Amino acid sequence: MNRSFPHPVIGWGVVSLLVFASLVSFVDRQIVAIVVEPMKQDLGLTDAEVGWLYGVFAVFYAMAALPIAWFADHGNRTRLIAVGVAFWSVMTAACGLVQTFWQLLLARMGVGVGEATLTPATNSLLGDYFPRDRLPLALSIYQLGPILGSGLAFVIGGSVLSLVTQLDVAALPFIGGLHPWQQTFVLLGTPGLLLALVFLLMREPARRDAPRDSSFHLGEVLAFYRSHPRLLLCHHLGCLFLNLMGYAFVFWTISFFVRVHGISAAEASWTFGWIFTTFGALGPLLIAGVGRVLARRGHDDANILAALIGGVLAIPFMIATQFAPTVTLAFILYAPAMCFINSPFGIANGALPVIAPSGIRAQVAAVNMLVGSFGMMLGPPLAGYFNTSVFPGPEGVRYSIITLVLVFGALGSALLWAARRPYAEAYRRVLAADRSN
Protein backbone atom coordinates (compact mmCIF):
# COMPACT_ATOMS: atom_id res chain seq x y z
CA MET A 1 0.00 0.00 0.00
CA ASN A 2 1.12 3.59 -0.59
CA ARG A 3 1.56 5.96 2.34
CA SER A 4 2.76 9.53 2.55
CA PHE A 5 6.22 10.10 4.03
CA PRO A 6 6.51 11.31 7.64
CA HIS A 7 7.37 14.95 8.29
CA PRO A 8 11.04 15.69 7.44
CA VAL A 9 11.74 16.74 11.03
CA ILE A 10 10.81 13.23 12.18
CA GLY A 11 12.87 11.66 9.43
CA TRP A 12 15.99 13.66 10.22
CA GLY A 13 15.50 12.99 13.93
CA VAL A 14 15.59 9.25 13.19
CA VAL A 15 18.70 9.75 11.03
CA SER A 16 20.38 11.55 13.96
CA LEU A 17 19.60 8.68 16.32
CA LEU A 18 20.88 6.13 13.82
CA VAL A 19 24.06 8.18 13.31
CA PHE A 20 24.62 8.03 17.07
CA ALA A 21 24.03 4.28 17.12
CA SER A 22 26.50 3.83 14.28
CA LEU A 23 28.97 6.03 16.14
CA VAL A 24 28.70 3.78 19.22
CA SER A 25 29.12 0.65 17.09
CA PHE A 26 32.34 1.94 15.57
CA VAL A 27 33.73 3.00 18.93
CA ASP A 28 33.25 -0.59 20.09
CA ARG A 29 34.58 -1.96 16.81
CA GLN A 30 37.79 0.10 16.67
CA ILE A 31 39.00 -0.28 20.26
CA VAL A 32 41.10 -3.28 19.28
CA ALA A 33 43.23 -1.08 16.96
CA ILE A 34 44.09 1.23 19.86
CA VAL A 35 45.34 -1.43 22.27
CA VAL A 36 47.40 -3.42 19.74
CA GLU A 37 50.79 -3.00 21.41
CA PRO A 38 49.86 -3.76 25.08
CA MET A 39 47.50 -6.53 23.98
CA LYS A 40 50.25 -8.14 21.89
CA GLN A 41 52.61 -8.03 24.86
CA ASP A 42 50.18 -9.51 27.40
CA LEU A 43 48.75 -12.24 25.16
CA GLY A 44 51.92 -12.96 23.14
CA LEU A 45 50.35 -12.25 19.73
CA THR A 46 51.83 -11.67 16.28
CA ASP A 47 50.77 -8.86 13.91
CA ALA A 48 48.86 -11.35 11.78
CA GLU A 49 46.93 -12.67 14.80
CA VAL A 50 46.05 -9.13 15.86
CA GLY A 51 44.81 -8.45 12.33
CA TRP A 52 42.58 -11.51 12.49
CA LEU A 53 40.84 -10.07 15.55
CA TYR A 54 39.39 -7.60 13.07
CA GLY A 55 39.11 -10.22 10.34
CA VAL A 56 37.01 -12.65 12.36
CA PHE A 57 34.77 -9.77 13.42
CA ALA A 58 34.17 -9.10 9.71
CA VAL A 59 33.40 -12.74 8.93
CA PHE A 60 30.62 -12.98 11.51
CA TYR A 61 29.44 -9.45 10.74
CA ALA A 62 28.94 -10.56 7.14
CA MET A 63 27.49 -14.02 7.88
CA ALA A 64 24.86 -12.61 10.22
CA ALA A 65 23.85 -9.80 7.86
CA LEU A 66 21.72 -11.82 5.41
CA PRO A 67 19.34 -13.53 7.88
CA ILE A 68 19.16 -10.27 9.84
CA ALA A 69 18.31 -8.40 6.64
CA TRP A 70 15.46 -10.82 5.92
CA PHE A 71 14.04 -10.01 9.35
CA ALA A 72 14.54 -6.27 8.71
CA ASP A 73 12.43 -6.54 5.54
CA HIS A 74 9.70 -8.44 7.43
CA GLY A 75 9.79 -7.69 11.16
CA ASN A 76 10.10 -4.90 13.70
CA ARG A 77 13.24 -2.99 12.82
CA THR A 78 13.54 -0.80 15.92
CA ARG A 79 13.44 -3.84 18.21
CA LEU A 80 15.98 -5.57 15.99
CA ILE A 81 18.35 -2.63 16.41
CA ALA A 82 17.74 -2.60 20.18
CA VAL A 83 18.71 -6.27 20.49
CA GLY A 84 21.76 -5.75 18.29
CA VAL A 85 23.03 -2.74 20.25
CA ALA A 86 22.62 -4.58 23.56
CA PHE A 87 24.40 -7.69 22.27
CA TRP A 88 27.41 -5.95 20.74
CA SER A 89 27.80 -3.81 23.89
CA VAL A 90 27.87 -6.86 26.16
CA MET A 91 30.34 -8.64 23.86
CA THR A 92 32.62 -5.59 23.71
CA ALA A 93 32.79 -5.55 27.50
CA ALA A 94 33.45 -9.30 27.38
CA CYS A 95 36.57 -8.62 25.27
CA GLY A 96 38.02 -7.03 28.39
CA LEU A 97 37.36 -10.09 30.56
CA VAL A 98 39.23 -12.64 28.45
CA GLN A 99 42.50 -14.32 29.38
CA THR A 100 43.47 -15.99 26.07
CA PHE A 101 43.59 -15.18 22.36
CA TRP A 102 40.83 -17.69 21.57
CA GLN A 103 38.48 -16.22 24.17
CA LEU A 104 39.10 -12.77 22.67
CA LEU A 105 38.42 -14.16 19.20
CA LEU A 106 35.05 -15.55 20.34
CA ALA A 107 34.07 -12.25 21.92
CA ARG A 108 34.95 -10.39 18.72
CA MET A 109 32.69 -12.80 16.81
CA GLY A 110 29.85 -11.74 19.08
CA VAL A 111 30.56 -8.05 18.47
CA GLY A 112 30.33 -8.73 14.74
CA VAL A 113 26.97 -10.50 15.01
CA GLY A 114 25.49 -7.68 17.09
CA GLU A 115 26.71 -4.90 14.82
CA ALA A 116 25.36 -6.70 11.74
CA THR A 117 21.84 -5.62 12.73
CA LEU A 118 22.33 -1.90 12.21
CA THR A 119 23.01 -1.27 8.50
CA PRO A 120 20.34 -3.56 6.96
CA ALA A 121 17.70 -2.29 9.38
CA THR A 122 18.72 1.31 8.68
CA ASN A 123 18.44 0.88 4.89
CA SER A 124 14.95 -0.57 5.30
CA LEU A 125 13.90 1.97 7.93
CA LEU A 126 15.01 5.13 6.11
CA GLY A 127 13.24 4.01 2.94
CA ASP A 128 10.00 4.61 4.87
CA TYR A 129 11.04 8.12 5.96
CA PHE A 130 12.48 9.65 2.75
CA PRO A 131 11.50 9.79 -0.94
CA ARG A 132 13.84 8.32 -3.53
CA ASP A 133 15.64 11.57 -4.37
CA ARG A 134 16.44 12.30 -0.69
CA LEU A 135 17.49 8.79 0.33
CA PRO A 136 21.15 8.97 -0.83
CA LEU A 137 21.63 12.17 1.20
CA ALA A 138 20.07 10.57 4.29
CA LEU A 139 22.30 7.50 3.95
CA SER A 140 25.37 9.67 3.32
CA ILE A 141 24.67 11.50 6.57
CA TYR A 142 24.13 8.16 8.29
CA GLN A 143 27.63 7.29 7.08
CA LEU A 144 28.89 10.03 9.41
CA GLY A 145 28.23 7.62 12.30
CA PRO A 146 31.00 5.18 11.35
CA ILE A 147 33.38 8.07 10.69
CA LEU A 148 32.66 9.97 13.89
CA GLY A 149 32.57 6.69 15.78
CA SER A 150 35.94 5.61 14.40
CA GLY A 151 37.49 8.98 15.18
CA LEU A 152 36.00 9.19 18.66
CA ALA A 153 37.04 5.58 19.29
CA PHE A 154 40.65 6.73 18.99
CA VAL A 155 40.06 9.90 21.03
CA ILE A 156 38.04 8.27 23.81
CA GLY A 157 39.97 5.01 23.68
CA GLY A 158 43.30 6.83 23.84
CA SER A 159 42.10 8.95 26.77
CA VAL A 160 40.71 5.94 28.64
CA LEU A 161 43.86 3.93 27.92
CA SER A 162 46.00 6.81 29.21
CA LEU A 163 43.83 7.03 32.34
CA VAL A 164 43.72 3.35 33.20
CA THR A 165 47.43 2.93 32.49
CA GLN A 166 48.05 5.05 35.58
CA LEU A 167 45.91 2.71 37.71
CA ASP A 168 46.77 -0.62 39.27
CA VAL A 169 45.71 -3.87 37.65
CA ALA A 170 42.04 -4.38 38.57
CA ALA A 171 41.21 -7.68 40.28
CA LEU A 172 37.73 -9.18 39.78
CA PRO A 173 36.30 -12.29 41.51
CA PHE A 174 36.47 -15.48 39.39
CA ILE A 175 38.19 -13.54 36.56
CA GLY A 176 41.45 -12.26 38.00
CA GLY A 177 43.47 -9.19 37.18
CA LEU A 178 42.47 -6.88 34.32
CA HIS A 179 45.26 -5.04 32.54
CA PRO A 180 44.68 -1.44 31.34
CA TRP A 181 43.78 -2.54 27.80
CA GLN A 182 41.17 -4.94 29.23
CA GLN A 183 39.68 -2.21 31.42
CA THR A 184 39.39 -0.05 28.29
CA PHE A 185 37.11 -2.63 26.64
CA VAL A 186 34.90 -2.90 29.73
CA LEU A 187 34.55 0.84 30.24
CA LEU A 188 33.69 1.55 26.60
CA GLY A 189 31.39 -1.43 26.06
CA THR A 190 28.82 -1.04 28.81
CA PRO A 191 27.26 2.41 28.01
CA GLY A 192 25.67 1.00 24.84
CA LEU A 193 23.04 -0.72 26.96
CA LEU A 194 21.35 2.67 27.55
CA LEU A 195 21.16 3.27 23.79
CA ALA A 196 19.55 -0.16 23.34
CA LEU A 197 16.80 0.93 25.73
CA VAL A 198 16.08 4.03 23.58
CA PHE A 199 15.51 1.88 20.48
CA LEU A 200 13.40 -0.56 22.48
CA LEU A 201 11.02 2.31 23.36
CA MET A 202 11.01 3.79 19.82
CA ARG A 203 7.90 3.34 17.65
CA GLU A 204 8.23 1.27 14.47
CA PRO A 205 7.11 3.34 11.42
CA ALA A 206 4.48 2.16 8.97
CA ARG A 207 5.96 0.49 5.90
CA ARG A 208 5.22 2.13 2.57
CA ASP A 209 4.84 -1.34 1.06
CA ALA A 210 3.53 -4.24 3.10
CA PRO A 211 6.08 -7.08 3.40
CA ARG A 212 5.43 -10.13 1.27
CA ASP A 213 6.25 -13.80 1.77
CA SER A 214 9.89 -14.78 2.14
CA SER A 215 10.12 -17.00 -0.95
CA PHE A 216 8.99 -14.16 -3.19
CA HIS A 217 11.52 -11.89 -1.56
CA LEU A 218 14.36 -14.33 -2.21
CA GLY A 219 13.28 -14.67 -5.80
CA GLU A 220 13.07 -10.90 -6.14
CA VAL A 221 16.58 -10.42 -4.75
CA LEU A 222 17.98 -13.00 -7.18
CA ALA A 223 16.05 -11.45 -10.05
CA PHE A 224 17.39 -8.00 -9.16
CA TYR A 225 20.97 -9.30 -9.27
CA ARG A 226 20.40 -11.20 -12.51
CA SER A 227 19.00 -8.06 -14.15
CA HIS A 228 21.98 -5.87 -13.12
CA PRO A 229 25.02 -8.20 -13.24
CA ARG A 230 27.73 -5.80 -14.42
CA LEU A 231 26.53 -2.92 -12.27
CA LEU A 232 26.30 -4.86 -9.02
CA LEU A 233 29.49 -6.85 -9.56
CA CYS A 234 31.54 -3.73 -10.27
CA HIS A 235 29.86 -1.72 -7.53
CA HIS A 236 30.28 -4.36 -4.82
CA LEU A 237 33.86 -5.33 -5.74
CA GLY A 238 34.90 -1.70 -6.18
CA CYS A 239 33.67 -0.89 -2.68
CA LEU A 240 35.30 -4.09 -1.36
CA PHE A 241 38.77 -3.08 -2.61
CA LEU A 242 38.47 0.51 -1.39
CA ASN A 243 37.25 -0.89 1.94
CA LEU A 244 40.26 -3.21 2.17
CA MET A 245 42.59 -0.29 1.49
CA GLY A 246 40.90 1.91 4.08
CA TYR A 247 40.67 -0.65 6.88
CA ALA A 248 44.31 -1.67 6.51
CA PHE A 249 45.34 1.99 6.58
CA VAL A 250 43.28 2.94 9.65
CA PHE A 251 43.86 -0.24 11.66
CA TRP A 252 47.66 0.05 11.55
CA THR A 253 47.83 3.83 11.97
CA ILE A 254 48.55 3.79 15.71
CA SER A 255 51.23 1.13 15.26
CA PHE A 256 52.70 3.25 12.44
CA PHE A 257 53.12 6.24 14.75
CA VAL A 258 54.44 4.09 17.62
CA ARG A 259 56.94 2.14 15.51
CA VAL A 260 58.03 4.70 12.91
CA HIS A 261 57.76 8.00 14.83
CA GLY A 262 58.31 6.71 18.38
CA ILE A 263 55.36 8.30 20.17
CA SER A 264 53.09 6.58 22.69
CA ALA A 265 49.94 4.73 21.66
CA ALA A 266 47.78 7.01 23.84
CA GLU A 267 49.24 10.19 22.28
CA ALA A 268 48.97 8.84 18.73
CA SER A 269 45.42 7.64 19.34
CA TRP A 270 44.25 10.95 20.81
CA THR A 271 45.72 13.11 18.02
CA PHE A 272 44.71 10.80 15.18
CA GLY A 273 41.22 10.47 16.64
CA TRP A 274 40.58 14.21 16.48
CA ILE A 275 41.90 14.33 12.91
CA PHE A 276 39.65 11.42 11.98
CA THR A 277 36.60 12.95 13.67
CA THR A 278 37.09 16.44 12.24
CA PHE A 279 38.24 15.77 8.70
CA GLY A 280 36.80 12.29 8.20
CA ALA A 281 33.30 13.65 8.67
CA LEU A 282 33.79 16.21 5.89
CA GLY A 283 34.40 13.62 3.18
CA PRO A 284 30.94 12.02 2.88
CA LEU A 285 29.23 15.42 3.11
CA LEU A 286 31.52 16.87 0.47
CA ILE A 287 31.06 13.95 -1.91
CA ALA A 288 27.29 13.86 -1.29
CA GLY A 289 27.28 17.53 -2.33
CA VAL A 290 29.33 16.68 -5.41
CA GLY A 291 26.80 13.97 -6.23
CA ARG A 292 23.86 16.39 -6.00
CA VAL A 293 25.66 18.92 -8.23
CA LEU A 294 26.40 16.21 -10.80
CA ALA A 295 22.78 15.04 -10.69
CA ARG A 296 21.49 18.58 -11.29
CA ARG A 297 23.80 18.80 -14.30
CA GLY A 298 22.18 15.73 -15.80
CA HIS A 299 24.59 12.96 -14.78
CA ASP A 300 22.44 9.88 -14.23
CA ASP A 301 25.55 8.14 -12.88
CA ALA A 302 26.09 10.91 -10.31
CA ASN A 303 26.05 8.64 -7.23
CA ILE A 304 28.73 6.31 -8.62
CA LEU A 305 30.81 9.07 -10.22
CA ALA A 306 30.94 11.05 -6.97
CA ALA A 307 32.03 7.93 -5.04
CA LEU A 308 34.76 7.34 -7.62
CA ILE A 309 36.04 10.91 -7.26
CA GLY A 310 36.32 10.49 -3.50
CA GLY A 311 38.19 7.20 -3.77
CA VAL A 312 40.69 8.49 -6.32
CA LEU A 313 41.45 11.63 -4.29
CA ALA A 314 42.24 9.54 -1.19
CA ILE A 315 45.11 7.57 -2.74
CA PRO A 316 47.88 10.21 -3.10
CA PHE A 317 47.27 11.63 0.38
CA MET A 318 47.35 8.17 1.99
CA ILE A 319 50.69 7.43 0.37
CA ALA A 320 52.08 10.84 1.34
CA THR A 321 51.41 10.18 5.05
CA GLN A 322 53.75 7.20 4.96
CA PHE A 323 56.63 9.20 3.47
CA ALA A 324 56.34 12.14 5.90
CA PRO A 325 59.76 12.68 7.58
CA THR A 326 58.33 14.06 10.84
CA VAL A 327 55.43 13.13 13.08
CA THR A 328 53.94 16.64 12.73
CA LEU A 329 53.91 16.52 8.93
CA ALA A 330 52.47 13.00 9.04
CA PHE A 331 49.56 14.18 11.20
CA ILE A 332 48.98 17.16 8.87
CA LEU A 333 48.80 14.87 5.83
CA TYR A 334 46.41 12.56 7.65
CA ALA A 335 43.78 15.35 7.52
CA PRO A 336 43.09 15.20 3.74
CA ALA A 337 43.75 11.46 3.73
CA MET A 338 41.02 10.83 6.28
CA CYS A 339 38.67 13.25 4.54
CA PHE A 340 38.74 11.35 1.27
CA ILE A 341 39.26 7.78 2.53
CA ASN A 342 35.77 7.85 4.04
CA SER A 343 34.06 9.76 1.27
CA PRO A 344 32.98 7.09 -1.26
CA PHE A 345 30.96 4.75 0.92
CA GLY A 346 27.94 6.79 1.99
CA ILE A 347 26.92 7.78 -1.51
CA ALA A 348 27.97 4.43 -3.02
CA ASN A 349 25.80 2.56 -0.52
CA GLY A 350 23.03 5.12 -0.96
CA ALA A 351 23.05 4.45 -4.69
CA LEU A 352 21.58 0.96 -4.19
CA PRO A 353 18.22 1.69 -2.50
CA VAL A 354 17.59 4.29 -5.23
CA ILE A 355 17.34 1.54 -7.83
CA ALA A 356 16.26 -1.44 -5.66
CA PRO A 357 12.57 -2.31 -5.09
CA SER A 358 11.44 -1.18 -1.65
CA GLY A 359 10.65 -4.71 -0.42
CA ILE A 360 14.26 -5.92 -0.79
CA ARG A 361 16.31 -2.84 0.12
CA ALA A 362 17.62 -4.31 3.38
CA GLN A 363 18.58 -7.58 1.71
CA VAL A 364 20.39 -5.81 -1.14
CA ALA A 365 22.19 -3.70 1.48
CA ALA A 366 23.12 -6.91 3.32
CA VAL A 367 24.59 -8.50 0.18
CA ASN A 368 26.60 -5.33 -0.43
CA MET A 369 27.69 -5.38 3.23
CA LEU A 370 28.62 -9.07 2.92
CA VAL A 371 30.87 -8.42 -0.06
CA GLY A 372 32.33 -5.22 1.38
CA SER A 373 33.09 -6.92 4.68
CA PHE A 374 35.74 -9.01 2.93
CA GLY A 375 37.71 -5.77 2.73
CA MET A 376 37.30 -5.31 6.47
CA MET A 377 38.15 -8.98 7.01
CA LEU A 378 41.27 -9.09 4.82
CA GLY A 379 42.75 -5.58 5.12
CA PRO A 380 44.17 -5.65 8.69
CA PRO A 381 45.50 -9.26 8.63
CA LEU A 382 46.92 -8.85 5.09
CA ALA A 383 48.81 -5.75 6.21
CA GLY A 384 49.88 -7.66 9.34
CA TYR A 385 51.23 -10.49 7.16
CA PHE A 386 53.16 -7.97 5.04
CA ASN A 387 54.54 -6.38 8.25
CA THR A 388 55.86 -9.75 9.42
CA SER A 389 56.87 -11.59 6.24
CA VAL A 390 57.42 -9.08 3.41
CA PHE A 391 58.60 -5.91 5.14
CA PRO A 392 59.92 -7.03 8.57
CA GLY A 393 61.25 -4.49 11.03
CA PRO A 394 59.76 -1.46 12.80
CA GLU A 395 59.35 0.59 9.61
CA GLY A 396 57.88 -2.25 7.58
CA VAL A 397 54.35 -1.14 8.43
CA ARG A 398 54.67 1.95 6.21
CA TYR A 399 55.72 -0.09 3.16
CA SER A 400 52.91 -2.58 3.74
CA ILE A 401 50.38 0.25 3.70
CA ILE A 402 51.86 1.85 0.57
CA THR A 403 51.68 -1.47 -1.28
CA LEU A 404 48.05 -2.16 -0.35
CA VAL A 405 46.94 1.40 -1.14
CA LEU A 406 48.48 1.34 -4.61
CA VAL A 407 47.16 -2.11 -5.56
CA PHE A 408 43.67 -2.06 -4.10
CA GLY A 409 43.06 1.66 -4.60
CA ALA A 410 43.66 1.22 -8.33
CA LEU A 411 41.44 -1.89 -8.53
CA GLY A 412 38.58 -0.27 -6.61
CA SER A 413 38.66 2.90 -8.69
CA ALA A 414 38.69 0.98 -11.97
CA LEU A 415 35.68 -1.10 -10.94
CA LEU A 416 33.62 1.94 -9.89
CA TRP A 417 34.44 3.52 -13.25
CA ALA A 418 33.07 0.40 -14.95
CA ALA A 419 29.85 0.63 -12.88
CA ARG A 420 28.98 4.15 -14.07
CA ARG A 421 27.18 3.38 -17.35
CA PRO A 422 25.03 0.43 -16.13
CA TYR A 423 24.05 2.45 -13.06
CA ALA A 424 22.90 5.36 -15.24
CA GLU A 425 20.81 2.97 -17.33
CA ALA A 426 19.22 1.42 -14.23
CA TYR A 427 18.49 4.86 -12.77
CA ARG A 428 16.75 6.01 -15.98
CA ARG A 429 14.57 2.89 -15.95
CA VAL A 430 13.52 3.55 -12.34
CA LEU A 431 12.61 7.16 -13.13
CA ALA A 432 10.58 6.06 -16.15
CA ALA A 433 8.69 3.53 -13.99
CA ASP A 434 7.96 6.23 -11.39
CA ARG A 435 6.51 8.54 -14.05
CA SER A 436 4.27 5.81 -15.42
CA ASN A 437 2.74 5.07 -11.99
For 346-380, the DSSP string reads: HHHHHHHHHHS-GGGHHHHHHHHHHHHHHHHHHHH
| Distance in angstroms (rounded) separating the CA atoms of residues 179 and 80 | 34
Q: Which residues of 34-50 are buried (b: 16+ CB within 10 A; e: fewer)?
A: bbbbbbbeebebebbbb
Identify the pLDDT of residue 333. 95
H-state helical runs in 205-301: 214-227, 229-251, 253-261, 265-280, 282-296
Summarised one tens digit per residue, pLDDT across range 59-68 is: 888 788 778 8
Q: What are phi and psi of 146, to 5 degrees?
A: -55, -40
| Distance in angstroms (rounded) separating the CA atoms of residues 224 and 364 | 9
Closest to 352 (Cα-Cα) out of 251, 201, 236, 226 = 236
Closest to 283 (Cα-Cα) out of 317, 307, 248 = 307
Q: What angle do CA 272, 147, 92 make, to 5 degrees?
A: 85
CB contact at 8 A, 277 and 148? yes
pTM flag (> 0.75): no
Return the number of other C-beta atoms located less than 10 Å from residue 90's C-beta: 18
Summarised one tens digit per residue, pLDDT across range 276-307 is: 888 887 888 888 888 889 988 888 888 899 99
- Strand, helix or coil at 177? strand
CB contact at 8 A, 14 and 130? no
CB contact at 8 A, 198 and 89? no
- Residue numbers in the chain where pLDDT is lower than 70: 1-3, 6, 132-133, 136, 161, 163-176, 208-218, 434, 437
Identify the pLDDT of residue 217. 57
Identify the pLDDT of residue 418. 95
Cα torsion at 80, 86, 88, 91 (round to 10°)?
-140
Amino acid identity, position 409: G
- Find the helix packing angle between 396-436 and 302-323, rounded to 10°: 170
| Distance in angstroms (rounded) separating the CA atoms of residues 120 and 37 | 34
First to last CA, the chain: 13
Q: How far is CA 99 from CA 44, 177, 280, 402, 435, in A?
A: 11, 9, 34, 34, 61
What dotted CATH number matches 8-436? Answer: 1.20.1250.20
**R_g of the chain, CA atoms, integer Å:** 21
Closest to 363 (Cα-Cα) out of 22, 61, 73 = 73
| Distance in angstroms (rounded) separating the CA atoms of residues 336 and 39 | 30
Contacts of 285-293 with C-beta under 8 Å, sequence gap 24+, read: 285/140, 285/141, 285/144, 286/310, 286/339, 286/343, 287/140, 287/343, 287/344, 287/346, 287/347, 288/136, 288/137, 288/140, 288/141, 288/346, 288/347, 288/350, 291/136, 291/140, 291/347, 292/137
Identify the pLDDT of residue 319. 95
Identify the pLDDT of residue 84. 94
| Distance in angstroms (rounded) separating the CA atoms of residues 122 and 127 | 8
